[in-house]
Structure formats: C-alpha cells, structure tokens
C-alpha cells in the first residue's frame, strides 16, 4: 500500500498517530508524518482507520502498483 499525507491540509489533530502509532507520528511542529521505514504501512491493519479518522482528510491510502 502507499500512504500519502497532504501536508498543506494537515492540521495536526493527531488522530492518525492515535489510531496507528506504529505507522504515524507527529513532527516537531505537531503535524502528522510517517515513521521512517513505514511508508508502506508495514502491514498495519489500522492504517486505513487512521486515514478515516483524520478530521480534514489529509491522509490517502492506496494500493501499491507493480
């Protein structure tokens, strides 16, 4: 899978980090970011829930192509 965070849309609510703490965290400014090495979601079943939990829809999860 591929995870994308629209940094222009993110408001730093942190719902993604609460839903999938093994994949998402917040940077020094409080905005969501993906943990190093977890860009593909690492098989975490909560990634899609984290995307749904984002109050501004800043996270997109898609299937990897190829």
Which pLDDT score is estimated for 66? 59
- Cβ neighbours of 53 (radius 10 Å): 17
Which pLDDT score is estimated for 63? 85
Helix-strand-coil split of the chain, %, nearest 5: 25, 20, 55
pLDDT in tens, the chain (66 residues): 999 999 999 999 999 999 999 999 999 999 999 999 998 998 899 999 999 999 999 999 998 765
């Amino acid at each position: 899978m591929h995870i994308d965070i629209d940094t222009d849309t993110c408001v730093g609510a942190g719902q993604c980090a609460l839903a999938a703490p093994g994949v998402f965290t917040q940077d020094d400014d409080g905005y969501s970011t993906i943990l190093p090495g977890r860009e593909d979601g690492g098989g975490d079943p909560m990634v899609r829930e984290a995307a749904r939990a984002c109050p501004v829809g800043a996270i997109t999860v898609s299937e990897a192509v190829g």
